Structure 1
Amino acid sequence: MVRACVIHGAGDLRVEERARPEPGPGQALVAVRYGGVCGSDLHYWRHGGVGDFRLREPMVLGHEVVGTVVAYGDGAYGDGASGPVPGTEVAVHPATPCGVCPECLDGRRQVCRDTRYLGSAARMPHVQGGFAAEIVVPAGQLRALPAGLPLRRAALAEPLSVALHAVRRAGEVTGRHVLVTGAGPIGCLVVAAAKAAGAARVTATDLLPEALRYAGLAGADTLVRADDPDDAGWPDEVDAAIEASGVAAGLDTCLRRVRRGGVVVQLGMLPPGGSPFAGNLVVSREIELRGAFRFDTEFDEALTLLATAPHFDALISEVTPLADAPHAFTSAADRSRSCKVLLDFAD
């Protein structure tokens, strides 16, 4: 048996034992060491769903996981197969696109219409997640860690990939001014990704001082209280804006601050149903409004960046043993004192 962090319904999070998985053909068995608590995990815990995806059966949470290869099933290692040797420290890419739908064939696997994603209720039966002491995943989803990258920092690879994809959706940002609304873990990583992409200036906004402090650690040049219209840090206009808060007010800010002909990327998942936005500005200023969903090849880029950037460690605010998972979720939900919270599966 192995212990796992399982959501049964809104507010019903349990650490329970499940049968130890066995890798089948083409699969790998991974001993998980760290798992990052994501905003979507918090939504399942608080509300029983995220966006339009509702929980309909118990589900192991988690899709930001790293660990060590234990074993392989038939055909996944040796005889020309390319899985990392058992004992290798790896990060797990959480997506398994179908590879045959129009989106996959068009090179946009992140919006595959039939993908499987760890810890997601988007389909039934749900795709069980990675918050377990041992998990089985397709061998092709394993990525050996670059030299010098510790497992703990590598746990940021999945959310950093989301950030890198959002910055890519914003277009060329080299030498430009980028606004990031929302300085949660994803927003802070968007700040870091924008700076890594060559942005000359990044302004980050949030309601909470501690969140803004983490955005500063991530590399933001200017920090602005989102609820203070008189804050001197507000830019007159920016070249691109990335909305990472998931609230309509953040999108409104982006549309009003971006220059004419600029790009706004909606990254934060807005509440279910319709959300009002300043559509007339999109028309009169020819603003390009783009969505950003998950990622694809950015996962490998994220690992390379993390290996050379130890300052990312500062965004990990807490590491909690699996047995105390409810405490970890409570901490992760308290943005007044936390950024990225990790679960530790070592014991």
Structure 2
Amino acid sequence: MAKGCLSPSSGAGGDGSGGQERCRSENRPVPEPGPNEVLLRMHSVGICGSDVHYWQHGRIGDFVVKDPMVLGHEASGTVVKVGAGVTHLKPGDRVAIEPGVPREMDEFCKTGRYNLSPTIFFCATPPDNGNLCRYYKHSASYCYKLPDNVTFEEGALIEPLSVGIHACKRAGVTLGSKVFVSGSGPIGLVNVLVAKMMGAAAVVITDLSASRLQKAKEMGADFTIQVKNETPQEVASKVESLLGCMPEITVECTGVQACIQAGIYATRSGGTLVLVGLGPDMVTVPIVNAAVREVDIRGIFRYCNTWPVAIALLASKRINVKPLVTHRFPLEKALEAFETTKRGEGVKVMLKCDPSDHSP
């Protein structure tokens, strides 16, 4: 018995450095769950920008694709088999998958920040395979049962939603906060959702794309700014003008140097700038401006302890992530789905891995 999966081959020289990556479908044996693992029949897998980046460039920072790697880390599926020691899940349970699983109980795990563990397993980050396939096994402790009123696609969207939850927590969003979100891609949009849910009084969001800003408006953004040729200082001035004050919190979701600069200039003295988007290793920023105004600059790396929170929010209908999904493809058309994401069409592209069930 075999499963279909999508896998990029490494570029020239096998180090991920040469040319555009190639994608292919491949048959592999169905894995057998070990102790404390479950075998899942995959249902919905979202395509992330990082998946596209690995496909196109073969690396992100120090993570280099050296061997063919299965993509996909925004995922949900159904338990079909449980390994020894698994008691909280049974065959037939619908689950959302947290892709990061600590390999050892180190100092970061002991303090509850397991996302920072240097040895963590993470789906679709070299050399760890992802879950864009028919069948996939995963640690049972990092599979979370979905309530009946939460769909598979909502379960898959918990992964990007978790980025928003973690970022807004790190930023300290609270009742009455004025928030500036830079970038209206999927991660910018989930930050709008979470900031509003956490009590933000007003959220302004920027982007180059008018259609993405319209989506942001539909999902709760109070103000939008379409950036054209403005300087970072001019963008900051527009943010202040729309909010009626400088925001206490800025969530930067692009990684673009000019956007980080605008984020520093825009943030109120004593406020917080959270860097979510990842760009070049080195960027030039007005660090003295931030320092003398006591603007805290915080990074985030993925998320931790967010799946139970996200499931509760989705089940209670406090947050609606369904509008994020704009395109759906069967697993057999994975390459077409990746091309769609690469072109920047829509918001979130979802792949359906179960040939007998393409429902949301």
- State if a TM-score over 0.5 links the two structures: yes
Q: 1:62 is matched by which residue type in structure 2?
A: G
- Map 1:185-264 to 2 at 5 A: 185-227=186-228, 229=230, 234-236=239-241, 237-264=246-273
**Alignment partner of 1:147: what SS?**
coil
Q: What is residue 303 of structure 2 aligned with on the other side? A: 295
* 1:329 aligned onto 2:334: no
- Could you tell me the percent identity over the aligned residues? 33
Q: Paired residue for 2:285, among 269, 277, 282?
A: 277
Would you tell me which structure has more strand in proportion to its own residues?
A: 1
Matched residue pairs, number?
336
Question: Cα–Cα, structure 1 residues 51 and 338, in superposed 2: closer, same or farther, change >3 Å?
Answer: farther
| Unaligned segments of structure 1, at least 5 residues | none
Greater shift, 166-175 or 287-296, is seen at 166-175
Contact 2:82–2:90 (8 Å) recurs in 1: no
* 1:15 aligned onto 2:25: yes
Shift of 1:30: 0.3
Question: Cα–Cα, structure 1 residues 306 and 332, in superposed 2: closer, same or farther, change >3 Å?
Answer: farther
Q: Paired residue for 1:267, among 263, 276, 282?
A: 276
Shift of 1:234: 2.8
Q: 1:260 is matched by which residue type in structure 2?
A: S
Q: What is residue 120 of structure 1 aligned with on the other side? A: 125
Q: What is residue 51 of structure 1 aligned with on the other side? A: 61
Shift of 1:277: 1.2
Question: Cα–Cα, structure 1 residues 140 and 311, in superposed 2: closer, same or farther, change >3 Å?
Answer: closer
Give the RMSD, CA atoms, in angstroms.
1.6
Q: Paired residue for 1:90, among 86, 89, 95?
A: 95
Contact 2:197–2:319 (8 Å) recurs in 1: no
| Unaligned segments of structure 2, at least 5 residues | 11-19, 356-360
Contact 2:166–2:300 (8 Å) recurs in 1: yes
Greater shift, 276-285 or 28-37, is seen at 276-285
Q: Paired residue for 2:70, among 60, 66, 69?
A: 60
Q: What is residue 136 of structure 1 aligned with on the other side? A: 137
Post-superposition Cα deviations, 1:306-339, rounded to whole Å, max 9, x if no partner, equal: 221574211101111111111111111222x310
Q: 2:175 is matched by which residue type in structure 1?
A: T
Q: What is residue 306 of structure 1 aligned with on the other side? A: 314
Q: 2:204 is matched by which residue type in structure 1?
A: T
CA distance in 1, matches of 2:194, 2:239: 21
CA distance in 2, matches of 1:151, 1:24: 24
* 1:320 aligned onto 2:329: yes
Q: What is residue 14 of structure 2 aligned with on the other side? A: none
Post-superposition Cα deviations, 1:128-153, rounded to whole Å, max 9, x if no partner, equal: 11101000111111100023111122
Taking structure 1 as the reference length, the TM-score comes to 0.93
Q: 1:152 is matched by which residue type in structure 2?
A: E
CA distance in 1, matches of 2:145, 2:70: 24
Q: 2:239 is matched by which residue type in structure 1?
A: W
Contact 2:180–2:239 (8 Å) recurs in 1: no
Q: 1:314 is matched by which residue type in structure 2?
A: P
Contact 1:161–1:299 (8 Å) recurs in 2: yes
Post-superposition Cα deviations, 1:181-219, rounded to whole Å, max 9, x if no partner, equal: 011111111110111111001111000112112212221
Contact 1:98–1:104 (8 Å) recurs in 2: no
Q: What is residue 106 of structure 1 aligned with on the other side? A: 111
Shift of 1:99: 4.6
Shift of 1:166: 0.3
**Alignment partner of 1:264: what SS?**
strand
Question: Cα–Cα, structure 1 residues 310 and 166, in superposed 2: closer, same or farther, change >3 Å?
Answer: closer
CA distance in 1, matches of 2:209, 2:192: 16
